[in-house]
Amino acid sequence: MKTALEWKKYYSSPEFSDDHTYSGEDLGAVCAPGGTSFKLWSPSADSVTLNLYREGNGGEPYSSIPMEREEKGVWCWKTDDELHGVYYDFSLELEGETVRSADPYAKACGVNGERSMAVNLSRTDPEGWERDCAPQAGPERIIYELHVKEFSWDASGGFPEEYRGKYKAFTCPGTTLYNDGIHPTGLDYLQDLGVTHVQIMPAYDYGSVNEAGEETEFNWGYDPVNYNVPEGSYSTDPARGEVRIREMKEMIQALHAKGFRVIMDVVYNHTYSLDSWFQRTAPWYFYRVFDDGRISNGSACGNDVASERPMCAKYILDSVLYWTEEYHIDGFRFDLMGLLDVNLMNRIRRELDARYGKGEKLVFGEPWSAAPTAMEGEAVPALKKNISFLDENIGIFCDNTRDAIKGDALKTALPGFVNGAEGLEDLICESAGAWCRDTRKDQIRDAFQAKAPSQIITYVSAHDNQTLWDKLTETAPGEDTMRLNRMAAALYMTCQGNLFLLSGEEFARTKDGHENSFNAPISLNRLNWEQAWKESSLVEYYKGLIELRKQLPGLCDKSSQAAGRIFGVRKAPGLVSFLCDNREKGDVDNSRWKTLMVIYNSRGSAVEIGLPDGEWEVLSDEKNSFLWKDAVCAGKQILAEEKSVTVLGSRKVILPESVSGDSAEKRCENRGRESAEKICESGKEGRLAV
Ligand code: CA
């Protein structure tokens, strides 16, 4: 066998690309009533044999058929039979060795994904699938990150025993806390909460859970084996290839029917093992290698997929399009997107836009990698620093906002703005404006500039790192954690950008401080629906914020004009406030409040803030996020309670020229802390009558 470096040299020649870049749409098994075709891209194989089996694992092939070599390194075999339900793999003669491989393009497989299965996909559609479609887009995107097994595992969820931890749990209507018939759990609960998108953590076929093992086995699933097949352990029968497909479609159908769009978490940056179907059928083509022969490991998972190579880019694009077309997926969250290249990300965006409309399918990801990667040639990694090269409808998780609000996610002891850190006012202001200003000239720490809020995922918790609750308890012991939680929530929910939260953030979810629970027991990871009920006052606070947010076009605006809406910014230690033009764009403006004022007070004492002229109503305060329902009038000043976010709305249009905010901000900076206090506060004690 050639070494990795020798392979790399071979693949890097222009002749290789010219002779072996295949553009057909028919790789894998295509199975229909009129016949079945099998196509495998394996440019270096000397021969390929297709093995057909009755079973998904074990036993010998009932037939082994030599495949024909066609153009561009593709091997083919066709039959007039509809081989639906037939399992298959390949035997390749490659560099003098015999290699067995399943199909990298497999759409179905047997237990644990070891053997592929031919499938007539129309036979896997659940009842009514042809009518399934995404709900209409609303005014805001609020993405709720959910793991299939975590969702329904706990008995408190009231799901039928046989469906706990399965796709099927999503199809159970009307679940309640321990079946009490009173307190909604599951999708009814989420509907009530008001989130708009459900992001499913890895649900393609991954390798870390034995599908034939114990039901209690758990993993997040960031270890892909078959990119185009649903994970089997979430199905009621992983041994029958069509079952997981139908059941995953049923889950998506149920989510759509309940009014949620569905986002898939995709991990194209690495594979479970370097010994993958990619590697067995085209050695080292799909992986990066450094010039000194070291295997690239920017994923910290043992390998990096070479997204910049033409057939690899095609694979990833084909896979994304397959999930949208066959499974009606509405968006993609790219794991370690910083390991993929900008060209590919923009191409995915363009192809989705061409098929479904501009920006209709969400595309966003983590704009970082775990370590340097050996990306080749002129390719540019989709890192945060390269955000200007990414389409304006490709989003990034904004760690700047996350860390400014609650403290560094990786250094668990470090606090942020809400839990006691000083000097973060500039970062909080940029967070509010979704990092769309040119911050570099202002010498802001970790400065970068987004094109529009559409590029920013605004969040304070995700599956990685501590939960928000755990972070707050560790960084602010002895403080009122519930209050800090409310402040963190109200803070990010009044920032521009796409909103995102880890499931259970709204009910003070804890993992006992665990930072990386990817393979911790399900008993630690499962959603505790009893806690959702116990912490219903916090849930209620989130609900109010979410419902309010949807009525605030000034904050929901995803366009490049959104930055211009924010004005009158004031900053003082522990204190940030700003005004926001909340009018709807276009000819008709139905906004209830024309101008907003948002006040973040992270100090340990209340502060009185003077309000610009204009009949203000308090929309949300420290403990009640539903004040907007009653149109509570504010006077000329408002008391911003300690550790609180206050949101006010005015029915009047207030223009930037009429307030002294921006200039006040400058004066604050010029004159230093003492006079800043005077400008930003009235200095009076006591609560104003509202
Ligand atoms: Ca699996």
Distance 39 CA to ligand 1 centre (A): 23
Span 544-568, pLDDT tens digits: 999 999 999 999 999 999 999 999 9
Pull the structure tokens for residue 268.
């194209």
- In 3D space, the residue among 7, 30, 17 whose CA is nearest the CA of residue 72 turns out to be 17
Pull the structure tokens for residue 446.
């970790």
Quote the CA–CA distance of 248 and 390 in Å, as a whole number: 31
Q: Is the pLDDT of residue 654 over 70?
A: yes
- In 3D space, the residue among 381, 287, 281, 364 whose CA is nearest the CA of residue 330 turns out to be 364
Sorting pLDDT into bands at 50, 70 and 90, what band is 678? very low
Quote the CA–CA distance of 31 and 324 in Å, as a whole number: 19
Distance 112 CA to ligand 1 centre (A): 5
Whole-model pTM: value is: 0.95
Q: Is the pLDDT of residue 676 over 80?
A: no
Predicted confidence at residue 622, as pLDDT, reads 97
Sorting pLDDT into bands at 50, 70 and 90, what band is 658? confident
Q: Tally the C-alpha atoms within 13 A of residue 466's C-alpha that lie toward its C-beta.
A: 22
Sorting pLDDT into bands at 50, 70 and 90, what band is 660? low
Predicted confidence at residue 666, as pLDDT, reads 41
Q: Is the pLDDT of residue 70 over 90?
A: yes
Amino acid in the structure at residue 542? Y
Percent of the chain at pLDDT exceeding 70: 96
C-alpha angle 126/130/134, rounded to 5°?
Answer: 100
Residue 265 dihedral angles phi and psi, to the nearest 5°: -90, 115
Distance 150 CA to ligand 1 centre (A): 16
Distance 166 CA to ligand 1 centre (A): 13
Predicted confidence at residue 661, as pLDDT, reads 52
> Among 92-96, 177-181, 323-327, 659-663, which is the least confidently predicted range?
659-663
Radius of gyration of the chain (CA): 27
Span 450-473, pLDDT tens digits: 999 999 999 999 999 999 999 999
366 tagged catalytic = yes
Q: Average pLDDT of 368-375?
A: 98
Distance 233 CA to ligand 1 centre (A): 6
Q: Is the pLDDT of residue 90 over 70?
A: yes
Quote the CA–CA distance of 422 and 413 in Å, as a whole number: 15
Sorting pLDDT into bands at 50, 70 and 90, what band is 631? confident
Q: Where are the beta strands (DSSP E) in 448-488?
A: 456-459
335 tagged catalytic = yes
One of 231, 335, 581, 665 is an active-site residue; which one? 335
Distance 203 CA to ligand 1 centre (A): 9
Predicted confidence at residue 445, as pLDDT, reads 81
Sorting pLDDT into bands at 50, 70 and 90, what band is 439? confident
Q: Average pLDDT of 408-430?
A: 97
Quote the CA–CA distance of 647 and 543 in Å, as a whole number: 15
Quote the CA–CA distance of 305 and 307 in Å, as a whole number: 6
> Among 1-5, 262-266, 591-595, which is the least confidently predicted range?
1-5
Report DSSP letters for 293-307, one per residue. SPBP-TTSSS--B-T
Question: Do 16 and 10 contact (CB within 8 A), yes or no?
Answer: yes
Q: Is the pLDDT of residue 683 over 90?
A: no
Sorting pLDDT into bands at 50, 70 and 90, what band is 688? very low
Report DSSP letters for 533-569, one per residue. HHTHHHHHHHHHHHHHHTT-HHHH--STTGGGGEEEE
Quote the CA–CA distance of 264 and 224 in Å, as a whole number: 13
How many other C-beta atoms can be found within 10 angstroms of the C-beta atom of residue 388?
12
Q: Average pLDDT of 361-383?
A: 97
Distance 205 CA to ligand 1 centre (A): 4
Predicted confidence at residue 317, as pLDDT, reads 98
Distance 671 CA to ligand 1 centre (A): 62
Distance 148 CA to ligand 1 centre (A): 13
Q: Which domains does the chain have, with CATH numbers?
A: 4-124 (2.60.40.10), 564-689 (2.60.40.1180)
Distance 110 CA to ligand 1 centre (A): 9
Q: Is the pLDDT of residue 56 over 80?
A: yes
Predicted confidence at residue 442, as pLDDT, reads 80
Distance 142 CA to ligand 1 centre (A): 29
Distance 647 CA to ligand 1 centre (A): 47
Amino acid in the structure at residue 73? G
One of 366, 399, 535, 641 is an active-site residue; which one? 366
Q: Is the pLDDT of residue 663 over 70?
A: no
Distance 225 CA to ligand 1 centre (A): 7
Pull the structure tokens for residue 52.
């057909």
- In 3D space, the residue among 145, 159, 132, 151 whose CA is nearest the CA of residue 195 turns out to be 145
Question: Do 207 and 275 contact (CB within 8 A), yes or no?
Answer: no
Question: For residue 202, is it left (φ>0), alpha (ψ between -120 and 50) or beta?
Answer: beta
Q: Average pLDDT of 144-154?
A: 98
Predicted confidence at residue 257, as pLDDT, reads 98
Distance 232 CA to ligand 1 centre (A): 5
Report DSSP letters for 489-531, one per residue. HHHHTTSSSEEEEETTGGGT---TT-S--TTS-HHHHS--HHH
Span 276-306, pLDDT tens digits: 999 999 999 999 999 999 999 999 999 999 9
Distance 304 CA to ligand 1 centre (A): 20
CB neighbour list of residue 311: distance below 8 Å, 6 or more residues apart: 20, 21, 22, 41, 282, 285
